Homo-oligomer: A and B are copies of this chain.
Amino acid sequence: MKVDVSAVEQAAINSIIPELEKAHDELLSGTGKGSDFTGWVKLPGTRDRDEFLRVKKAAKKIQGDSQVLLVVGIGGSYLGARAVIEFLRGSFYNLRRKDTPDVFFVGNNLSASYAEQIIELVGDRDFSINVISKSGTTTEPAVSFRFWKTLCEKKYGKEGARGRIYATTDAARGALKKLCDSEGYETFVIPDDVGGRYSVLTPVGLLPIAVAGIDVDELLSGAAEMMGICAVPGLENPAWQYAAARNALYRAGKTIEVLACYDPDFVFMAEWYKQLYGESEGKEGKGIFPAAVSFTADLHSMGQYIQEGARTLFETVVLIENSSGSMAVTSDPDNVDGLNFLTGKSLSEIELQAFRGTYLAHMDGGVPNLVVSMDKKNAQSLGKLIYFFEFACGLSGYLLGVNPFDQPGVEAYKRNMFALLGKPGFEEEGRRLAARLDK
């Protein structure tokens, strides 16, 4: 994995080194803001071996007795697993013939239409449930879990359902943990010191990922390798480079970061990225606004804005250096489209030149381009990329001066929603809000 930040003046990066040294030290020693939630920093090295083996065993069991896994979760309990599965197994995962179960993500919205589509898709197939929630009281997954638990018990009986419901939750406290203890569900732990958006390499992400047939050992091994690389202070550290470059650009007025990738299977990795950076940095009236595009498709939609719109953007391209696939351009004796000069060239080669041409075009247009190169589209490289982005995000949040590990703003809508729904104790506020809306 390499990071190219040559689009940013070396002097601007150098000027941030003292801050980076402090941020790095705070992150590793657990002395910075929000340090109660920096367990992910050493996670790939200290993971609970027994629990990891249980995750793999549960995945095998689900693969054996289920055609569908329903993953009930929202936010960090949703995006990471979906992102990894779609990137490594393809965005058409559920549609393709394969020997691992379909994976459907539920409890991440309040759409009745969505819920009904999933019910139809599960049909009469055998299913298991992985409910993922620290507290067990978040509305979307809790409401969804009520439904699927009932259906599971109806179909398999109370005892049968016990063997098909897996909970990833707090080690000791919370409504969901209490339920698991009384019902006897197998449980996996969301560590106390790892927040949702940093949890993809805990059982939160690993169980669904393993069910989808991805090698979680490789994923963690890549993460552990990057943990070693990121632990070393200095500008050789790719996380230092990326954190410094994006903050230098932010301070120079580039307030929007567009994450780009040329692989359509990366779309949900970009969603994971947007949560990681947006939720970590978007507070106290500051933060780079994270956006994402999928190239080359979006060169024909958002490409115009990037090339010539307001010059408040910079771009970070995730480049997959050794794209798989050997498809090449077929010949056309009539050369109707005038593209015979491409005949025999592989799509991967054309894609690479599209990246290089776009890089220059956007740079020339005033959009600095950072490039994060990963070796291959595989679990090992993805593990590295995930840890890299996490570590750089921690550094970057400290450079910005915020606590990159809390999310105080997420409560505001929930409180209003509960009040408007007449939650006991919120009646007065509910009336007040309803009156505001009626105006």
In the bound complex, residues from chain B placing their C-beta under 8 Å from that of A313 are: 289
How far is the CB of A321 from the nearest CB of chain B, in Å?
14
Given that A297-B109, A416-B360 are contacting pairs, would A114 and B265 also be in contact in the complex, using a CB cutoff of 8 Å? yes
For window 408-427 of chain A, which residues contact chain B by CB distance below 8 Å?
408-410, 412-424
- Which residues, 226 to 262 on A, are CB-close (under 8 Å) to B? 255-256, 262
State which of A44-52, A216-224, A324-332 sits at the interface with chain B. A324-332
Known contacts A114-B264, A137-B338, A421-B353; is-contact A285 B300 (Cβ 8 Å)? no
A262 in contact with B74 (CB, 8 Å): no
- Say how far A149's CB is from chain B's closest CB, in angstroms: 9
From A326, which residue of chain B is reached at the shortest CB distance?
B112
By a CB distance below 8 angstroms, the chain B residues around A325 are: 111-113, 115-116
Compute how far the CA of A359 lies from the CA of B95 in the bound complex, rounded to whole angstroms.
36
Q: Across the interface, name the chain B residue whose C-beta is closest to A102.
A: B95
Q: CB of A299 within 8 A of chain B?
A: yes
The residue of chain B having its C-beta at the shortest distance from the C-beta of A278 within the complex is B305
Q: Say yes or no: A121 contacts B95, CB within 8 Å.
A: yes
- Residues of B contacting A300 with CB < 8 Å? 74-76, 78, 108, 196, 275, 410
**Residues of chain B lying within 8 A (CB to CB) of residue A377:** 113
Bound Cα distance from A88 to B294, whole angstroms: 23
- Give the complex CA separation of A354 and B275 in angstroms: 20
Q: Which residues in B have their C-beta under 8 angstroms from that of A124?
A: none
Q: Is the CB of B263 within 8 A of A111?
A: yes
Which of A12-20, A55-63, A202-210, A344-352 lies at the binding interface?
A344-352
Is B94 a contact of A301 with CB atoms below 8 Å? no
Per the bound structure, the CA–CA distance linking A136 and B193 in Å amounts to 55
- A262-B110, A338-B175 are contacts. A410–B296 as well, Cβ < 8 Å? no
Cα(A283)–Cα(B303), bound, Å: 11
A8 at the binding interface (Cβ < 8 Å): no
Q: In the complex, what residues of B have CB within 8 A of residue A120's CB?
A: 96-97
Stretch at the interface among A29-37, A138-146, A155-163, A384-392: A138-146
Of A121, A146, A312, A418, the most chain B CB neighbours within 10 A belong to: A146
Q: Is the CB of A301 within 8 A of B79?
A: yes
A140 touches which of B176, B255, B296, B357 (Cβ 8 Å)? B296
Q: Which residues of B contact A332 (CB under 8 A)?
A: 146
Contacts of A364 in B (CB 8 A): 412
- CB-based contact B412/A256 at 8 Å: no
Whether A279 lies near B263 (C-beta < 8 A) is: no
* Most B C-beta atoms less than 10 A away, residue of A308, A351, A437: A308
B residues near A134, Cβ cutoff 8 Å: none
Q: Which of B139, B307, B353, B360 interacts with A409 by CB under 8 Å? A: B307
CB distance from A191 to the nearest CB of B (A): 19
- B contact residues around A283 at 8 Å (CB): 304-305, 308-309
Closest B residue to A78 using CB positions: B297
Asked whether any CB of chain B lies closer than 8 Å to the CB of A336, the reply is yes
Q: What's the Cα separation between A250 and B409 when bound, in Å?
A: 24
Query: Per a CB cutoff under 8 Å, which of B178, B351, B423 touches A336?
Result: B178
In the complex the two chains form, is A301's CB within 8 Å of B279's CB? yes
Q: Is the pair B109, A296 in contact by a Cβ cutoff of 8 Å?
A: yes
Question: CA separation between A265 and B436, bound complex, in Å?
Answer: 30
- Chain B: CB-nearest residue to A119: B327
Q: Which B residues touch A143, using CB under 8 A?
A: 329, 339, 342, 347, 350
> With a CB–CB cut-off of 8 A, which chain B residues contact A111?
262-265, 323, 325, 347, 351
Chain B nearest CB from A428 CB (Å) reads 15
Interchain CA distance A336-B314 in the complex, whole Å: 47
Q: Pick the 8 closest A-B CB pairs, nearest first.
A: A112-B325, A282-B305, A282-B309, A75-B300, A357-B416, A307-B409, A275-B301, A357-B417
With contacts A109-B264, A274-B301 known, what are 18 further pairs, Cβ within 8 A?
A76-B300, A109-B295, A109-B296, A109-B297, A115-B325, A115-B327, A146-B332, A175-B338, A179-B336, A196-B300, A278-B301, A281-B309, A289-B309, A299-B410, A341-B424, A353-B417, A365-B409, A365-B412
